[in-house]
Structure 1
Amino acid sequence: MNIALWIVAGLLALAFLAAGAMKLLQPKEKLIASGLGWTENYSAGAVKAIGAVEILAAIGLILPAALDIVPILVPLAALGLVIIMIGAIVVHARRKENQALVPNIALLLLSAFVVWGRFGPHAF
């Protein structure tokens, strides 16, 4: 189970590192044009803040455990991603962007798996 948790955490880290970097580095107009219509409802600063939080969570999923420095940060980072994904699900549901709900729910469940595993039976 420990290996499965590492694999899931690694995949989540890659996904959120890429998504966060995209939000942090690209202008809001380019994000809207690329299909992230929800960014219309938020300021450029809010979109960049979401991207920064996603990058920090991605780092928090891997580095604390890999370096054995404050490994409790791993499940806390995963819990933060659960909260972010709940927010994303709410935003997409309100905008009736049903196609975006499936990946958000999948990321939520994977993040919840890491929270369960690292707070519970397979803590560091």
Structure 2
Amino acid sequence: MNIVLWVIAAVLAAAFLGAGLLKLTQPREKLVASGMGWAEGFSAGTVKLIGGLEILAAVGLILPALLDIAPVLVPLAALGLVLMMIGAAITHARRKEYQAIGITVVLLILAAVLVWGRFGPYSF
């Protein structure tokens, strides 16, 4: 199960690192035009904040356990992603972006499994 949790952490880290970098490097208008319609409901600063939090979470999913420095940060980072994905699901539901809700729920479930595993029976 430890390997499965590492794979989940790596998949989540890759997904959120990419998404966070995209949000930090692209202007909000370009994100809206490229299919992230939800961004029009938020200020440019808020979109950048979300991107920064996603990058911090991606780093927090891997580095603490890899370096064996405060590995409790791994499930805390995953818990932060669970909370962010709940907010994202609510935002997508309000905008009737049903395909985005599906992706969001998958990421939420993966993060929740990581929280359960690393806080529970498979902690470091």
Normalised TM-score (structure 2): 0.99
Structure 1 stretches lacking a partner, 5+ long = none
Question: By how many angstroms is 1:42 displaced?
Answer: 0.4
Structure 2 stretches lacking a partner, 5+ long = none
Distance in 2 (CA, whole Å) between partners of 1:106 and 1:16 is 13
Question: By how many angstroms is 1:99 displaced?
Answer: 1.1
Aligned to 2:64: 64
CA RMSD of aligned residues (A): 0.3
Question: By how many angstroms is 1:115 displaced?
Answer: 0.1
- Figure out how many residues of one structure are paired with residues of the other and give that number: 124
1:11 equivalenced with 2:3 (yes/no): no
Question: By how many angstroms is 1:71 displaced?
Answer: 0.3
Q: Which amino acid aligns with 1:108?
A: L
Deviating runs (4+, > 3 A) in structure 1? none
Question: By how many angstroms is 1:3 displaced?
Answer: 0.2
1:107 equivalenced with 2:104 (yes/no): no
Q: Percent identity?
A: 66
Aligned to 1:87: 87
1:43 equivalenced with 2:43 (yes/no): yes
Distance in 2 (CA, whole Å) between partners of 1:22 and 1:7 is 23
Normalised TM-score (structure 1): 0.99
Distance in 1 (CA, whole Å) between partners of 2:109 and 2:2 is 17
